[in-house]
Amino acid sequence: ATDKRINFLPPVLSLILGSNYFLTVLCIILIVPILELTIGLVFQDKCPAETNIPKYLIVTGACGIVAIALTVAIVISIKCCIKQDSIAGSCISACVIGVIVLIILLMCVFLFAWFIAGNVWVFGAQNKVDFDNERSPNYCHSTLYNFAFWIIILTYIMTVVTCCLSCCRACFGSISTLKA
């Protein structure tokens, strides 16, 4: 029997995105944007030193939740529609996935700019923040500020680790190719 499906994803990517493991990892990662949104909302008026810090967390958290939800939509589309033996189902899935990927890419561009702004707001307030006197114009609730600070630091750490792992993978991949 011939395969009627249109295969628009590389098999490895289709395998990863279609796995239950990937969905589980997404659900675990979802904890971070939920915490960002929650802490930003709970402490929304608790940082006169830099009123944009809670806004930064709220927007970052909301966008993170939407991005993960859209990624789950891609996974569901792959699991349900692409596995059908119909060209129409595959075409519709390809279009849906294409639109979702475009939306996620646009969100990534926005979030990159928003991340830079968050760095300016959080690190710009670092030397003047007062965690003790709630009446001070430099007051910022310690939970709010420290969470925003460490989320940014962890983002940098994860970026460096990911880049190092990618470089190691590329190096070891080229070494194994040379040996073969």
Residue 5 within any structural domain of the chain: no
Residue 41 within any structural domain of the chain: yes
pLDDT in tens, 76-95: 777 766 566 566 666 777 78
Of 122, 113, 111, nearest to 147 by C-alpha is 122
Low-confidence ranges of the chain (pLDDT < 50): 1-6
Residue 93 within any structural domain of the chain: yes
- Residue 2 has what pLDDT? 40
Largest Cα separation within the chain, whole Å, is 75
Residue 84 within any structural domain of the chain: yes
- Residue 137 has what pLDDT? 96
Residue 63 within any structural domain of the chain: yes
Report if pTM > 0.85: no
Domain count, the chain: 1
pLDDT in tens, 25-36: 888 999 999 999
Residue 174 within any structural domain of the chain: no
What domain range is 66 assigned to?
11-153
- Element at 49 (helix H, strand E): none
- Residue 74 has what pLDDT? 81
The span from the CA of 3 to the CA of 31, in Å, is 39
Residue 136 within any structural domain of the chain: yes
Three-state SS string across 146-175, please?
A: HHHHHHHHHHHHHHHHHHHHHHHHHHHHHH
Residue 162 within any structural domain of the chain: no
Of 43, 66, 69, 65, nearest to 148 by C-alpha is 43
